[in-house]
A and B are shown apart, each in its own frame.
Chain A
Amino acid sequence: MAATIGYADVEVGDELPAQSFPVTRATLVQYAGASGDFNPIHWNEKFAREVGLPDVIAHGMFTMASAIRVVTDWAGDPGAVVEYGVRFTKPVVVPNDDKGAVIEVSAKVAAKLDDGQVRVDLVATSADQKVLGMSRAVVRLA
């Protein structure tokens, strides 16, 4: 694969450009359709509250898809991602208004591995809560 960042040009501790991702109820409906995940906790407030959630919450996989963009935009080739894993620690609560929620993602190079690969550790928050834990990607650089 053809990452545009060179392994030799990267140091442990390097920060990747941070990004923030807005998410509204409309975003969740669109994601439900595209992904096929129609769990009503992602679009039906009444249902979400009945099962003990504070409100409608974003699909964990939407948050996961957003967070990796910090890595794929940096690496230049999304196909350079070798591993990617997260723990969903807190829900991204999406109120029914025109603002919705915002997912803030930062990342840094945590380790240089063999075979031109680096491990990137990600931090994702929403409303000052950490929404992803153990969020790590391994990327093969040029």
Chain B
Amino acid sequence: MALDQSFVGRSYPPTPAYEVGREKIREFAEAVGDANPAYTDPEAAKALGHRDVIAPPTFAFSITFKAAGQVVQDPELGLDYSRVVHGDQKFAYTRPVTAGDRLTVTSTIEAVKSLAGNDIIDIRGEVHDASGAHVVTAWTKLVARAAQDGEGA
């Protein structure tokens, strides 16, 4: 079913702050098997010029995708989430996500398309810290596959 084009350009209110903890970063780094000490050892992170341990580059997705939930689960949009796969993902960083950050996400729907029965939605999540400074922007393309399609990612 074609998605409602009127959603293009819609922005959602900023999320409540997500507080980035050292142990959450450690848990994430271990889950991706990445032993870089900048993720777990505050002294190693400080030696690289960071305030505290930093998160792996893709960690921000956990926060922005949760924020995107208010978009993809919006019943008015009509996205079939059971058939959604991840199409593209991009990040642009002003600085790495760092332990102690209190981050908010503002989600905007950049594009809504239907191609060969697939519904495609592009969501931009802008992440700011407690001072209002930009940390990272995440662009996420989601594809709700047509029912008879066997491909996915």
Which positions in A face B, CB cutoff 8 Å?
Answer: 1-2, 21, 27, 30-31, 33-37, 39, 41, 51-54, 57, 59-62, 64-66, 68-69, 72-73, 76-79, 81-91, 131, 134
Q: Taking A60-B86, A64-B58, A72-B34 as given, write out 19 further A-B residue pairs in contact, using a Cβ cutoff of 8 Å, ordered by the A residue number.
A: A1-B50, A2-B49, A33-B27, A34-B27, A35-B31, A52-B145, A57-B152, A57-B153, A60-B89, A61-B61, A61-B89, A65-B32, A65-B58, A68-B58, A72-B36, A78-B54, A79-B48, A79-B95, A91-B85
How many A-B residue contacts, CB cutoff 8 Å?
Answer: 133
Least CB distance from A15 to B in Å reads: 21
- Residues of A within 8 Å of B85, CB to CB, are 41, 60, 88, 91
Contact (A65, B34) CB under 8 Å given A36-B62, A78-B57, A79-B96: yes
In the bound complex, CA of A31 to CA of B32 (Å)? 7
Q: Which chain A residues lie closer than 8 Å to B92 at the CB level?
A: 82-83
Within 8 Å by CB of B39, from A60, A68, A73, A78, lies A78
Which A residues are CB-close (under 8 A) to B31?
27, 30-31, 33-35
